[in-house]
Amino acid sequence: MRKRVVVTGMGCVSPVGNNIKETWDALLAGKSGAAPITAFDASAHKTKFAAEVKGFEPVALFGSREARKMDRFTQFATAATLEALESANFKIDESNRDRVGILIGTGIGGIITLLEQYDVLRERGPERVSPFLIPMMIADGAAGNIAIRVGARGPNMSLATACASGTNSLGEAAEMIRRGSADAMIAGASEAAITAVSMAGMNVMTALSTRNNDPQRASRPFDKDRDGFLMGEGSAVLILESQEHAEARGAKILCEFAGYGTSDDAHHISAPAENGAGAAISMRLALENAALKPEDISYINAHGTSTYLNDKSETAAIKTVFGEQAYNTPISSTKSMTGHLLGASGALEGMVSALAIMNSILPPTINYETPDPVCDLDYVPNQPRKMVVNHVMSNSFGFGGHNATLIMSRYQ
Average pLDDT, stretch 350-362? 98
In the chain, residues under CATH classification 3.40.47.10 are 5-248, 260-409
Average pLDDT, stretch 11-24? 98
Average pLDDT, stretch 277-289? 97
Residue predicted with more confidence, 276 or 274: 276
pLDDT, position 198? 98
CATH code reported for the domain at 260-409? 3.40.47.10
Average pLDDT, stretch 210-236? 98
Q: How confident is the model at residue 259 (pLDDT cuts 50, 70, 90)?
A: very high
Q: How confident is the model at residue 221 (pLDDT cuts 50, 70, 90)?
A: very high
Average pLDDT, stretch 179-190? 98
pLDDT, position 274? 79
Average pLDDT, stretch 198-212? 97
Average pLDDT, stretch 201-212? 97
Class of the domain covering 5-248 = alpha beta
pLDDT, position 1? 72
pLDDT, position 331? 98
pLDDT, position 273? 83
- The fraction of the chain above a pLDDT of 90, given in percent, is 98
Q: What residues are labeled active site? A: 163, 303, 340
pLDDT score of 151 more than 90: yes
Q: Model's pTM, two decimal places?
A: 0.97
pLDDT, position 316? 97
pLDDT score of 272 more than 90: no
pLDDT score of 208 more than 90: yes
pLDDT (tens digit, 9 = 90+) per residue, 309-336?
A: 999 999 999 999 999 999 999 999 999 9
pLDDT, position 222? 98
3-state secondary structure the chain: CCCCEEEEEEEEEECCECCHHHHHHHHHCCCCCCEECCCCCCCCCCCCEEECCCCCCHHHHHCHHHHCCCCHHHHHHHHHHHHHHHHHCCCCCCCCHHHEEEEEECCCCCHHHHHHHHHHHHHHCHHHCCCCHHHHHCCCHHHHHHHHHHCCCCCEECCCECECHHHHHHHHHHHHHHCCCCCEEEEEEEECCCCHHHHHHHHHCCCECCCCCCHHHCCCCCECCCCCECEECEEEEEEEEEHHHHHHCCCCCCEEEEEEEEEECCCCCCCCCCCCHHHHHHHHHHHHHHCCCHHHCCEEECCCCCCHHHHHHHHHHHHHHHHHHHHHCCEECCHHHHCECHHHHHHHHHHHHHHHHHHCEECCECCCCCEECCECCCCCECCCEECCCCEEEEEEEECCCEEEEEEEECCC
Average pLDDT, stretch 169-182? 98
Q: How confident is the model at residue 69 (pLDDT cuts 50, 70, 90)?
A: very high
Query: Across the chain, what does the average pLDDT equal?
Result: 97
Q: How confident is the model at residue 176 (pLDDT cuts 50, 70, 90)?
A: very high
pLDDT (tens digit, 9 = 90+) per residue, 92-107?
A: 999 999 999 999 999 9
